[in-house]
Amino acid sequence: MRPVVTVAEMAALDARALETTPAEQLIEAAGTAVAHHVLDRFGSVAGRTIVVVAGKGSNGADGRVAAKLLVEAGALVRTVDPSAGDADLAGADLVIDAAFGTGLSRDFLAPTPPAGAVVVAVDLPSGVDGDTGAVGGRAMAATTTVTMASLKAGLLLGEGRRLAGEVTVADIGIAVDPPRAALIEDDDLSALPLRASDAHKWTTSVTVVAGAPGMEGAGALSSLGALRAGAGMVRLIHPTTAASSPVAWPLELVRRPVAMEALAATAQEETERSGALVVGPGLGATPSAHEAVRHLVADRRCPVVLDADGLGAVQGVAGLAELVAKGTAPVVITPHDGELRRLLGGPVPDDRIACAVDLAEATGATVLLKGPTTIVASPEGGPSSVLLVTSGTQALATAGTGDVLAGIIAALLATGLPPMLAAGLSAHLHGRAGASAEGVLIASELPALVGALIGEVRRGC
């Protein structure tokens, strides 16, 4: 995992570094890192035109050091200030954006580089908020970004992720203590547990409560997600009525179709031997469904993944906190933005990391906030309490993929992984598997892709 810092955390790291290292030395190191990145990535700059947009602060100073070194390498360099217009960048083969860094607190209208010009941003594209990735005004899209000491949250969120291009972290001699957040990468999948030699089907069993009439597929997809992620046994409890239609259920499932009124009691019976419980996908929004969800969360006997319709049953943040407080087993919630708005009773804040952290602390649940960058926040708070996942793709923007994710999380919880790690690794697996699909992905294909990816990881161990 790679550290990811907020603007405030980076400012504190800078201040501590300045206690022992002169500012000029840090600026020299940063500018040198930018110049070396240009030379390593793009080769000889002799005779090429480079324009450096340099502000008055330390970000601009970094750019001016890079300019000096690139002149020595034979480039034709001119430096302009942030008020430069498009015409000031005319003829540039490469533009270095060193106008403003993480300290910018106002809108900035960046000049537009010439068509075909390479753009290298220093620390982050100027105008991008270092915490949220939001753009104030107009930012210059970078081909690559050289960021100092650590990834910044704004490079992974919102518009910042798109505008940053390929991101390189430069070591300039600033020590980075474990911050609150970290980015999950492929190497972290090595933490996926192997089945013990004496394992049996109940060792990592999962119960799924999902799939009301008309939404049976949600229960099947969650169950398949759990099976492909390593659950040795999946027992699906789903409400049924006289009007229920026949469904081609996966052969591997053990099903217990019951009346909605018996749902909670039947599920409690099943979870006596389960390692984790999924509650909510396709369960519906009837009063009896909501009552069953609340009962299962309050009287849980194993870790719970509360997803989809289950989130609508908890009666807001205060209601969820009350239910979570009644038990000791962990609860993981998995809202997308629409579900989060309903849970909060209002709009989703711009600072998604802060929102996830606040929600986790307020409810006592581990929060997996879905999005282009998925955020996982632990209720414990402090350093290493947030994970970011950027493996998701547009391929997952199709009905049912969230149901699969709920099953994957439950399977990893059933192995004994801590809730935050189980949720973070599940989201990364989910994203990587979706990205591996050929053509248009549908949710029923996703579990097999997850299983194949886990197989690859284990063969590589």
Task: Give residue 447's identity as a one-letter amino acid code.
Answer: P
User: From CA 357, how far away is CA 370, in angstroms rounded?
Assistant: 14
Kindly state the average pLDDT of the residues 252-264.
93
pLDDT of residue 296: 97
3-state class (DSSP) for residue 226 = helix
As a whole-number percent, the residues of the chain with pLDDT over 70 amount to: 99
pLDDT of residue 195: 81
Q: How confident is the model at residue 207 (pLDDT cuts 50, 70, 90)?
A: very high
Q: How confident is the model at residue 403 (pLDDT cuts 50, 70, 90)?
A: very high
Ramachandran quadrant class, 270 (left: phi over 0; alpha: psi -120 to 50; beta: rest): alpha
Kindly state the average pLDDT of the residues 10-16.
95
- Hey, how many other C-beta atoms are within 10 angstroms of the C-beta on 27? 19
Q: How confident is the model at residue 136 (pLDDT cuts 50, 70, 90)?
A: confident
User: From CA 279, how far away is CA 311, in angstroms rounded?
Assistant: 9
Kindly state the average pLDDT of the residues 197-202.
80
Provide the sign of the torsion angle of the four alpha carbons 4, 418, 219, 238, taken in this order: negative
User: From CA 443, how far away is CA 228, in angstroms rounded?
Assistant: 13
pLDDT of residue 154: 97
User: From CA 352, how far away is CA 356, in angstroms rounded?
Assistant: 6
- What tens digit of pLDDT does each residue of 150-181 get? 999 999 999 999 999 999 999 999 999 889 99
Strands annotated E in 270-321: 276-279, 304-306
User: From CA 234, how far away is CA 246, in angstroms rounded?
Assistant: 20
pLDDT of residue 243: 63
Q: How confident is the model at residue 329 (pLDDT cuts 50, 70, 90)?
A: very high
Kindly state the average pLDDT of the residues 12-39.
96
- What tens digit of pLDDT does each residue of 275-304 get? 999 999 999 999 999 999 999 999 999 999
Which structure tokens are listed for 234? 């999946």
- What tens digit of pLDDT does each residue of 436-446 get? 999 999 999 99
> What domains are defined for the chain?
2-178 (3.40.50.10260), 186-460 (3.40.1190.20)
Kindly state the average pLDDT of the residues 310-322.
97
Check pLDDT > 80 for residue 246. no
- What tens digit of pLDDT does each residue of 49-97 get? 999 999 999 999 999 999 999 999 999 999 999 999 999 999 999 999 9
- What tens digit of pLDDT does each residue of 109-130 get? 999 999 999 999 999 999 999 9
User: From CA 118, how far away is CA 257, in angstroms rounded?
Assistant: 60
Check pLDDT > 80 for residue 106. yes
CA angle 246, 293, 218 (to 5 degrees): 35
Q: Which residues contact 74 (CB under 8 A, 6 or more apart)?
A: 44, 45, 46, 47
Residues counted in the chain: 461
Q: How confident is the model at residue 244 (pLDDT cuts 50, 70, 90)?
A: low
